Amino acid sequence: MSCNLSTKLREGTKKSHTMAENVGFVKCFLKGVVEKNSYRKLVGNLYFVYSAMEEEMERHKNHPIVSKIYFPELNRKASLEKDLFYYYGANWREEVAPSAAGAAYVQRIREVSEKEPELLIAHSYTRYLGDLSGGQILKGIAQRAMNLEGEGTAFYEFQDIPDEKAFKNIYRRALDELPIDENTANRIVDEANAAFQLNMNMFKELEGNLIKAIGLMLFNTLTRRRTKGSTELATAE
């Protein structure tokens, strides 16, 4: 039973996507203002989020629905470990802990995995398709803004996916072929919007650090206008 889930997700999360791109931290990032301390805190949070998501996806890899979009080549945990080693040094495990927003995100992933594993699809879609779509642009921005010499951005590198565009098509086809009904599809879209909100909460937490580093005046200048999200401008990648 096909219900065109990839289109439903794209259309159904447009607004969330635009809201996420208008969070101050993200706007500054997209304009090339990235402060190392805030960024490494974000990498720490992402490490806990992806670890939880990848553990739960693995746990349900034989689930009749989740199994269809189980692609271990997307996994980010190892690349985030590499980045944390770069930013914090060898004892990074003692240095990093999830923030309140990061912990809430992890808790939600564990919760859906326990009660409604099919909703993990929403979390996978929100994170991985975003990483594959905008990852290369963000990687370039981070490298220039923080003067990185090819290290500290392993998160954006998908070593096991040689052709990202082709892979996104495979992923979307898998979404469209899921054995789900309309009601389940709608629940997955709702959960994807919730995942966007959890992401935004993590970004918002970092704004205090960023403002301290760059000053309120510059922050206000960079974030003053609401911008049209990239998804509103070009929905089809």
Exposed, middle or buried, 41 (CB in 10 Å: 0-12/13-18/19+)? buried
Stretch among 118-127, 190-199, 214-223 having the lowest mean pLDDT = 214-223
Say yes or no: domain 5-226 is CATH 1.20.910.10. yes
Stretch 229-234: mean pLDDT: 50
Question: Who's near 81: CB < 8 A, 6+ residues apart?
Answer: 47, 92
pLDDT over 80 at 226, yes or no: no
SS3 per residue for 190-237 = HHHHHHHHHHHHHHHHHHHHHHHHHCHHHHHHHHCCCCCCHHHHCCCC
Mind listing the pLDDT tens digit for each residue in 49-76?
999 999 999 999 999 999 999 999 999 9
Q: Are 192 and 12 in contact (CB under 8 A)?
A: yes
- On the CB side of 93, CA atoms within 13 Å amount to 1
What confidence score (pLDDT) does residue 233 get?
44
pLDDT band, residue 3 (cuts 50/70/90): confident
Q: What is the token pair recorded at 193? A: 């919007």
SS3 per residue for 65-88 = CHHHHCCHHHCCHHHHHHHHHHHH
What confidence score (pLDDT) does residue 228 get?
66
Alpha-carbon gap, residue 119 to 186, rounded angstroms: 10
Hey, what's the torsion of the CAs at 118, 168, 1, 124, to 10 degrees? 10
Count the Cβ atoms, other than its own, within 10 Å of residue 39. Answer: 22
Stretch 12-18: mean pLDDT: 95
pLDDT over 50 at 237, yes or no: no
Mind listing the pLDDT tens digit for each residue in 179-209?
999 999 999 999 999 999 999 999 999 998 8
Alpha-carbon gap, residue 138 to 230, rounded angstroms: 13
pLDDT over 80 at 229, yes or no: no
Stretch 83-90: mean pLDDT: 97
The residue to which tokens 């981070």 are assigned: 142
Mind listing the pLDDT tens digit for each residue in 92-113?
999 999 999 999 999 999 999 9
With pLDDT > 70 as the criterion, what percentage of the chain qualifies? 95
